[in-house]
Each structure stands twice: as C-alpha cells, then as structure tokens.
Amino acid sequence: MTPTQPLDLTTDLVTLTRALCDTPSVSGQESALADAVETALRAYPHLEVLRDGDTVVARTHAGRATRVVVAGHLDTVPVSDNLPTRLVGEGQHAEVWGRGTVDMKAGVAVQLALAAELAAPSRDVTWVFYDHEEVDASLNGLGRVARTNPQWLAGDFAVLCEPTAAGLEGGCNGTLRVEVRLQGVAAHSARAWMGRNAVHAAGEVLRRLEAYEPADVEVDGLVYREGLNAVLISGGTATNVIPESCVVTVNYRFAPDKDVDAALAHVRQVLDGFDVVVTDSAPGARPGLDAPLAKDFAAAVLAATGSAPTAKLGWTDVARFSALGTPAVNFGPGDPTLAHKSDERCPVHQIVASHAALRAWLTA
C-alpha cells in the first residue's frame, strides 16, 4: 500500500502520526512505509541514509564527541477494524485513535520530526526505523542489522521509542520459557488403575506456581517486578484414555540482576523433581541509568513531563542494545497496556512531551 502523498516531516506531530498510521505496515508488509520514510529522510542533506531490507537508518555527522541511537519499529500487529485514524477530544483530552498509534508510530513521528529538524544536534544521532518487531524474534529487523551491519548501530547510549506513556523506563526484565513435561502411563479410562495419570501429576506443578510469590527486585535504583506463570497446558489424547503425557509451558519474567542461567536455576529450584526443558530465553537489560548521558536524558524527561525513571517490565529490544554493549532505555508516547488492542489510542500531549524531552536532550 503506497501513501497517497509523500511524508511531510515538517508538519505537526498529530498529522505526521496519522499519516504514518494511515499507511498500514503490518509485520512483513512494511515496504511501502519504509520507502516513504527513506524518501522523506533523503531530502535532508545533514543525514546519511542507509537501508537494509525494510530497515532505514539515518545518521548525522556533526563531529560530536558522543553518539546516541534513537530507534523505533515501523511494523504493527494486524489492523483490527481500527483504521483510518481518528482524532478524538480536544486540548489535554485529545487522543489519536487507531492501529499503531501506541505501538509505535507516535514514537516514530517524534523521531522523524526531530531527524528533519535537528541539522546540528548537540550529540550525533543515529535514527533507526526497523521492521518485523511484532513477530518471531528471528525475523526482527534490529537483530538482523546487528548481524549484517553492526557498525550502523554503534553509539554511546540508545533510546528505544516503545510506548512508556512518555516516562523514562530503564532496562527490561528478561524472559525464560520452559516446558514441564509430565510422563504417565496410558490405560483405558475404564481401568484407570492400570495407568498413571500425567494430567493429575501436573496438579503439583500448578500448585507450586499458584503458591509462588513473585519478587520485586531493585536494580540500579529501579524496582523490577517478576512473574512466574503457566501460560499453556496440554495433556491427554482421547476422552477414554488415561493421559500418558502432559506439558505445562511456564514463563518466568526475571529482573535484570540475573542472567538466563541464574533464572533457569531458580525455576529448576521451584519445580524441583520435575522434568524442565528450556524452549526459549532472552536476557534482560540493566537500566544503565548511572551513565552520564542517561542522567542528562532523565533530567530532560523530568523537566518536560515531571516523571522520574521507572523499571521496564516487559522484554523489549533495549536488550539487543544491551547485548551490543550500549546502555539503553525505553521512552515514547502511549500507554503500553493499550498496545495491540482494538481501542489503541495515544494522547496528543504525550506525543508533544516526548518530542520536547528528546529535543531538549539533543540540543542542550
């Protein structure tokens, strides 16, 4: 789908947000939007524009001592009868409604406006617009560029414009998925005593998970709330057979004071005596708020929005920057609990405040 008009990066933030959202870009179908972003950025001689698949990177070369990376993804989850966008309410109550407004095209609008505007920022900036964030991690555009062109992502600090309601959220929790595999012995359910019921055996696993008290863990001054939950369960083969197997998939969201190995050791301890198999994991990221650049940014956010840093609980691509050795934080407009919902909507004042905070930091 091609936008009817080229993107105008000098228009107001609401118009730009709506233009981005009204060019649908569900994961795997980002090309039209990536083309429009690339074309718009190439109009600015202060930017070097690069392209890898549907990821567009634009860099200033103002000769500053430090370089920051400001990244956002172009794709969205599928449209749910919530496009085209609508502008609802006025003043402090004005909101842009529609798919992508929260996750995360309002943030992309802030990036694009500043990329056009800041010909001579106080720190060199690498603007990253990437593809395939909302699907399997193996497809993630930021991960791909980190493999194919890691030098494009080099920087002293990174800001990921995922929705945080315009508050600075540091680091992120890690995530670990395991399968707890229960083995029984099949038998006809009319002669149950000849078998051993694997689904009944899962009762003890669920009992421990139900009784588990998740920890609140302080890391670098921010409090990370953990969680240990069964997310899937499946067992049995037929309604007249004693189940010979049952699988409980458990997701542990762990604070960034632990690496994946430590997280797994904890899960194995909680589920001691059961067969625990890792299926998926991703390390968390420490908040990195002790870095001077981070302190400056936190001050700029506090000045623009009045809010102090908090911990990011969901896993985000800040962990990819962390893995590259670059401290990273989340900061962007929109309430993250509205992401992916059909009533996704973003307050205009958060878009304006996000723009103001980033602008202040990049021009101070």
The residues carrying an active-site annotation are 75, 133
Sign of CA dihedral 279, 174, 110, 18: positive
Binding mask 266-305 for a second copy (x = CB under 8 A): --------------x-------------------------
CA 201 to chain centre: 36
CA distance 288 to 291: 6
Instruction: Compute the least distance from the CB of residue 292 to a second copy, in Å.
Output: 29
- Taking CB under 8 A as the rule, does residue 138 contact a second copy? no
- Taking CB under 8 A as the rule, does residue 360 contact a second copy? no
Instruction: Give the interface size with a second copy as a residue count (CB under 8 A).
Output: 49
Cis? peptide before 194, omega within 30° of 0: no
Report residue 181 as tokens: 């595999």
- Taking CB under 8 A as the rule, does residue 243 contact a second copy? yes
Residue 292 burial (C-beta neighbours within 10 Å; 0-12, 13-18, 19+) = exposed
Question: What beta strand segments (E) does the chain contain?
Answer: 48-52, 55-59, 67-73, 86-88, 95-97, 124-130, 157-160, 169-170, 174-183, 187-188, 216-219, 222-225, 227-235, 241-242, 245-254, 275-282, 310-311, 328-330, 345-347
**Ramachandran area for residue 132 (φ above 0: left; ψ -120 to 50: alpha; else beta):** left
In this chain, which stretch among 35-43, 137-145, 153-161, 234-242 interacts with a second copy, using CB under 8 A?
234-242
In this chain, which stretch among 66-74, 109-117, 239-247, 297-305 interacts with a second copy, using CB under 8 A?
239-247
- Taking CB under 8 A as the rule, does residue 200 contact a second copy? yes
In this chain, which stretch among 33-41, 78-86, 189-197, 326-334 interacts with a second copy, using CB under 8 A?
189-197
Instruction: Compute the least distance from the CB of residue 82 to a second copy, in Å.
Output: 18
- Taking CB under 8 A as the rule, does residue 146 contact a second copy? no
Nearest to 103 by CA among 352, 339, 346, 345: 339
In this chain, which stretch among 33-41, 143-151, 246-254, 260-268 interacts with a second copy, using CB under 8 A?
246-254
The residue from 59, 99, 123, 253 that contacts a second copy (CB under 8 A) is: 253
Closer of 68 and 329 to a second copy (Cβ): 329
- Taking CB under 8 A as the rule, does residue 246 contact a second copy? yes
Residues in CB range of 102: below 8 A, 6 or more apart: 163, 333, 334, 335, 336, 338, 339, 344, 345, 346
Closer of 98 and 184 to a second copy (Cβ): 184
The residue from 251, 307, 310, 363 that contacts a second copy (CB under 8 A) is: 251
For residue 82, the tally of other CB atoms under 10 A from its CB is: 18
> Which ranges of 85-218 does DSSP label H, i.e. alpha helix?
106-117, 141-148, 198-211
- Taking CB under 8 A as the rule, does residue 239 contact a second copy? yes
CA distance 118 to 244: 64
In this chain, which stretch among 6-14, 25-33, 151-159, 190-198 interacts with a second copy, using CB under 8 A?
190-198
Residues forming the site for a second copy (CB under 8 A): 173, 175, 177, 188-194, 197, 199-203, 205-207, 209-210, 214, 225, 227, 229-243, 246, 248-249, 251, 253, 280, 313-315, 337
